[in-house]
């Protein structure tokens, strides 16, 4: 993948980056396929591949000649650092998305820990983010300016206004404006490491005010993830796990259908969680 991207940049330096809406729509289409593909065998590995592909689309759009860090922290960088004031100007906020599956390997054990997707966000806000993904035994590392849908940093502060913003966002990305459409775009947002933690919590706190959202498990617990799991009527595969007291987002849980590779006794399950720490250097 890196070789192909390098060749593209070297051979076509005249190619301009696509506009942000084009990049976002391409990425959302890939993530939408990931959500629908959870019913298939090894759903988590499918998502890892989709995320790696989505990252490549973003990189092609951003890693063009003339790029580089901004002189001041951009809104998305500032939103992340606001949640982590412990990050110093000479340090990085390190975000890791960790995905696990159960029920397809040795009984009683996590049978697969998916490839990680990692980001390093500069504490001074003046240099590029660094993204690293691991897929198929190979590691890909890229540096680029921070990015993301404007919705991540430009949205209504009240619940009613935010829900309307989310409906507009769903419609812009070929989703319905109803609860199912909102649930889908919420999945995109909370599973995206570049979305600020505070925004993920705002989105879920808004969703739980709607009719049709219900508690799937008030005390969900698995290795690396615990909290109150919420879902919607007619949707049993994807749960959002939140802090019971504050509603803060903690992770995702999925329950795909059993297939011929299921060994039990555990029910097939995948989880997606996020870990953060402060480090002094990036790759």
pLDDT for 136 beyond 80: no
- Predicted pLDDT of residue 118: 92
Count Cα atoms within 13 angstroms, Cβ side, for 274.
24
C-beta separation of 45 from 39 below 8 A: no
Q: For residues 66 and 63, give the distance between their C-alpha atoms in angstroms, rounded to a whole number.
A: 9
Burial zone of 283 (CB within 10 Å; 0-12 exposed, 13-18 middle, 19+ buried): exposed
pLDDT digits (tens, 9 = 90+) for 99-132: 888 776 655 555 566 657 899 999 998 888 999 9
- Predicted pLDDT of residue 127: 80
The residue written with tokens 């009613």 in the block is 160
pLDDT for 140 beyond 50: yes
Neighbour count for residue 244 (Cβ, 10 Å)? 15
- Predicted pLDDT of residue 104: 66
Instruction: Give the DSSP H or E segment for 239.
Output: strand 235-242
- How far lies 63's CA from each of 8, 23, 30, 77, 164, in Å? 10, 13, 20, 18, 33
Q: For residues 258 and 176, give the distance between their C-alpha atoms in angstroms, rounded to a whole number.
A: 29
Provide the residue ranges of all domains of the chain, joining segments of one domain with +.
2-279
Mean pLDDT computed over 265-281: 87
Instruction: Give the DSSP H or E segment for 47.
Output: helix 43-62
Lowest mean pLDDT among 14-28, 129-143, 231-245: 14-28
Name the token pair of 97: 């998305």
pLDDT digits (tens, 9 = 90+) for 42-99: 333 334 333 433 443 333 333 322 334 444 568 899 999 999 999 999 999 999 998 8
Burial zone of 20 (CB within 10 Å; 0-12 exposed, 13-18 middle, 19+ buried): middle
Mean pLDDT computed over 243-248: 95
pTM above 0.85, yes or no: no
Name the token pair of 241: 């796990």
pLDDT digits (tens, 9 = 90+) for 183-236: 999 999 999 999 999 999 999 999 999 999 999 999 999 888 999 999 998 766
- Torsional sign, CA 283, 129, 189, 33: negative
Name the token pair of 88: 């110093």
Mean pLDDT computed over 136-163: 86
Q: For residues 140 and 135, give the distance between their C-alpha atoms in angstroms, rounded to a whole number.
A: 8
- Torsional sign, CA 34, 37, 39, 42: negative
- Predicted pLDDT of residue 157: 96
Q: Phi-psi region for residue 137, left (φ > 0), alpha (ψ -120 to 50) or beta?
A: left
Q: Which of 10-14, 67-71, 167-171, 251-255 has the highest mean pLDDT?
A: 167-171
């Amino acid at each position: 993948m890196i070789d192909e991207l390098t060749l593209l940049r070297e051979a076509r330096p005249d190619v301009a980056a696509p506009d942000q809406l084009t990049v976002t729509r391409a990425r959302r289409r890939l993530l939408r396929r990931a959500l629908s593909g959870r019913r298939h065998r090894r759903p988590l590995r499918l998502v890892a591949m989709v995320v790696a592909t989505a990252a490549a689309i973003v990189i092609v759009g951003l890693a063009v000649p003339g790029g580089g860090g901004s002189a001041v922290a951009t809104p998305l960088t500032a939103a992340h650092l606001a949640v982590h004031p412990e990050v110093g100007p000479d340090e990085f906020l390190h975000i890791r998305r960790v995905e696990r599956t159960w029920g397809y390997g040795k009984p009683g054990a996590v049978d697969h820990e998916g490839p990680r997707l990692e980001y390093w966000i500069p504490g001074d806000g003046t240099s590029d983010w660094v993204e690293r993904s691991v897929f198929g035994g190979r590691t890909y590392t890229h540096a680029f300016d921070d990015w993301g849908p404007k919705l991540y940093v430009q949205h209504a502060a009240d619940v009613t206004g935010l829900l309307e913003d989310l409906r507009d966002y769903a419609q812009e990305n070929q989703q319905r404006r109803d609860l199912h459409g909102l649930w889908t775009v919420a999945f995109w947002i909370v599973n995206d490491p570049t979305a600020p933690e505070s925004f993920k919590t705002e989105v879920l706190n808004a969703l739980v005010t709607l009719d049709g959202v219900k508690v799937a498990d008030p005390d969900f617990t698995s290795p690396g993830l615990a909290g109150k799991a919420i879902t919607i009527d007619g949707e049993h595969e994807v749960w959002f796990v939140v802090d019971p007291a504050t509603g803060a987002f903690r992770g995702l849980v999925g329950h795909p259908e059993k297939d011929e590779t299921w060994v039990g006794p555990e029910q097939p399950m995948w989880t997606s969680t996020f870990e953060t720490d402060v480090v002094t250097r990036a790759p």
